[in-house]
Amino acid sequence: MMAVEVKDLRKSYNGFEALKGISFHLEKGEIFALLGPNGAGKTTTIRILCGLTRPGGGQAFFFGMDIFKNPLKAKKLAGLVPQALNLDLDLTVWENLLIHGLLFGLSLQEIKEQGQSLMEFSGLRARLHHKVRTLSGGMRRRVLITRALLHRPRILFLDEPTVGLDPHIRRKLWGLIKRIQQQGTTILLTTHYIEEAEFLANRVAFIDNGTLVIVDKPQNLTSRLGKYAVDIVQEDGLETKYFPDRQSAEDFILSRRETGTTVTLRRVNLEDAFVYFTGKRV
Amino acid sequence: MKGFLAVYLRELLIMWHRLPRMVLSFSVSPVLYLVAFGLGLGKHITIHGRPYLEFLIPGLVAASSMMQGFGINVEINVARFYMRVFEEIQAAPVSNLAYVLGEILAGVSRAFLSVSIILFITALARVSFSYGPAFWAGVFLNSFIFAALGVTSAMLIKSHADQALVSNFIITPMAFLGGTFFPVGNMPGPVQIILKTLPLTHASRLIRQAAYGQKILWNDLGILVALAGASLLLAYWSVDKARD
Ligand SMILES: Nc1ncnc2c1ncn2[C@@H]1O[C@H](COP(=O)(O)OP(=O)(O)OP(=O)(O)O)[C@@H](O)[C@H]1O
Ligand SMILES: [Mg+2]
């Protein structure tokens, strides 16, 4: 069964079409990444699926259930790590977790147990009774993620979860996200970090201007272009050519030797695919 | 039910962390009013045969329960526009009714805190009243109505700045004119008619009469109950308007 199914989702703000009818689905247990430039509509998509923004049209289902007809049931299944921090700064970490647990109908006992087990990963135990206001940005983000996991959502929405985190914490978080997936949670992730999508996602969707450009496995997206890329420095920027194997790429470089331009040979990555399919950089 | 509890508990925790500051700030204006109007101005004034202070204090109770009930809107604004916690609640499986009732009860709790402070100061000033069920019903209904209106206004406004407009043009004038500091009967006829439609006018009359230990004004009580129901509906309706 599909964990999430989105059909022709639309949203306009005062005549401006932020989502122009997008459709996609998430298989149960997969990590699905929405990749796109600023203003593409990633956050809008997540906000609609979490009940924060009114849909302008279309349908959406969690495990076959129409979420616009059953908003409260749908919200029970979902966990959200929003792009913008939304913690109570003047409450302690524990109080933030407590309120969240009660909002999702957990008992005090469940909140304590689940909170305890999440402390392992989050490293927040020592700060549990500190006000959120006194925590660093990265710690706040970890509180945000811990909170979203507290009610054991079956579908997790992560809107740029690692923004502003140092590389160590980011890598720790990637590990955590993988572990959450292994426990059977389905994850929809948005990110600006290509390597994040490449590392985490089973499938990637490129979104641009409120439209889904293409959806596929990362390796399929890159192999559509080739295996190797040659960047050629030009007066008006960078041109990239793609080659099926190393030999043909090297032949090309040799043929350009006379012109004296700077070229670099490297492997094709997901960023190439994004640029190729959307005509833009992320 | 847990959703309602969560919303209410959240506001209580916020209040708890700020309790000393809140108590202090809730004490300032009643003390000022009592000193300025009660002792300074009102020494030689009597209304309905009683010293002005005895007229003023129930009026302060009514005005203050209105202001602090309505004051929940500030908390909601902070949660909505500054900390964005409102979105955390929107994303939770909590019905609009549970949310609204949680916030209203928080407003009522603020009001009871401020009224307790006034009564404490009153006791220090050696003025005594009778605090029967009608008195507390008046405080409860009045703060309930205005907390519900506070929730409504917090849902409908688009930015924090709009809120000051609502407070300055509606709440502050009402606090002065709703039978709090002078009897509405002193006003010219047409003005009286307008003032008698204000919820606060009924609340202050009910509360004052009860404080004097006189018979319960069932009319005013009935009107306040009806207004409480209507304002609850309004608040309930407004919650969905806050989604973009
Ligand atoms: N509340 C709003 N009112 C008006 N326009 C909005 C609103 N929210 C989003 N938009 C517009 O909708 C478009 C999509 O915004 P969205 O936040 O979904 O982009 P995004 O893909 O998440 O971008 P980013 O990578 O910058 O987070 C943008 O053009 C944005 O200006
Ligand atoms: Mg975004």
Ligand 2 centroid to A60 CA: how many Å? 20
> Is B92 at the interface with chain A, CB within 8 A?
yes
A77 and A184 Cβ atoms separated by less than 8 Å: no
| Contact yes or no for B83 and A87 at CB 8 A | yes
Token pair, residue A112, equals 């304590």
Residue of A nearest to B244 (CA): A53
In sign, the C-alpha dihedral spanning A89, A121, B92, B94 is: negative
Name the pairing type of β-strands A263-267 and A228-234.
antiparallel
Tell me: the pLDDT tens digits for A122-181? 888 899 999 999 999 888 998 999 999 999 999 999 999 988 788 888 888 899 899 999
- Give the residues across from A57 on adjacent strands: A10
Ligand 2 centroid to A157 CA: how many Å? 12
Which residue carries 């009608």 as its tokens? Answer: B134
Instruction: Please list the pLDDT of chain B residue by residue as tens digits (244 residues).
Output: 789 999 999 999 999 999 999 999 999 988 888 888 777 776 778 888 888 888 999 999 999 999 999 999 999 999 999 999 999 999 999 999 999 999 999 999 999 999 999 999 888 888 888 898 999 999 999 999 999 999 999 999 888 778 888 888 888 888 888 888 888 888 888 888 888 888 999 999 999 999 998 888 899 999 999 999 999 999 999 998 888 8
**How many CB atoms neighbour CB B36 within 10 A?**
11
The residue nearest atom 9 of ligand 1, judged by CA position, is A44
> Is A99 at the interface with chain B, CB within 8 A?
yes
Q: What is the DSSP letter of B134?
A: H
The alpha-helical segments, DSSP class H, found in chain A are 42-49, 71-77, 93-103, 108-122, 137-149, 167-182, 194-200, 218-223, 246-255, 270-278
**pLDDT number for residue A280:** 59
How is A90-147 classified by DSSP, letter by letter? TSBHHHHHHHHHHHTT--HHHHHHHHHHHHHHH--GGGTTSBGGGS-HHHHHHHHHHH
Asked whether the predicted pLDDT for residue A282 surpasses 60, the reply is no
- The CA distance from B74 to the nearest CA of chain A, in Å, is 15
In sign, the C-alpha dihedral spanning B67, B70, B71, B74 is: negative
**pLDDT number for residue A281:** 52
Q: In 3-state terms, what secondary structure has residue A229? A: strand
> Is A16 at the interface with chain B, CB within 8 A?
no
Tell me: the pLDDT tens digits for A175-185? 989 999 999 99
| Sequence-ordered list of residues with C-beta below 8 angstroms from that of A59, at least 6 positions apart, any chain | A6, A7, A8, A9, A66, A68
Find the residues whose C-beta lies inside 6 A of ligand 1. Answer: A 13, 18, 36, 38-44, 83; B 244
ipTM for the complex? 0.90
> Is B9 at the interface with chain A, CB within 8 A?
yes
Identity of the residue in A75, A85, A98 whose CB atom sits nearest the CB atom of B92: A75
* Domain spans of chain B, in order of start: 2-243
**Per-residue buried b or exposed e for A220-231, using 16+ beta carbons within 10 Å of the residue's own CB:** ebbeebbebbbe
| Contact yes or no for B91 and A88 at CB 8 A | no
Report the C-alpha gap between A184 and A180 in whole angstroms: 7
Name every chain A residue with its beta carbon within 8 A of the beta carbon of B9. 98-99, 102
Report the C-alpha gap between B207 and B210 in whole angstroms: 5
> Considering the entire predicted model, what is its pTM?
0.90
Q: Tell me the residue type at A252.
A: F
Q: For chain A, what percent of residues have pLDDT higher than 70?
A: 99
Ligand 2 centroid to A159 CA: how many Å? 7
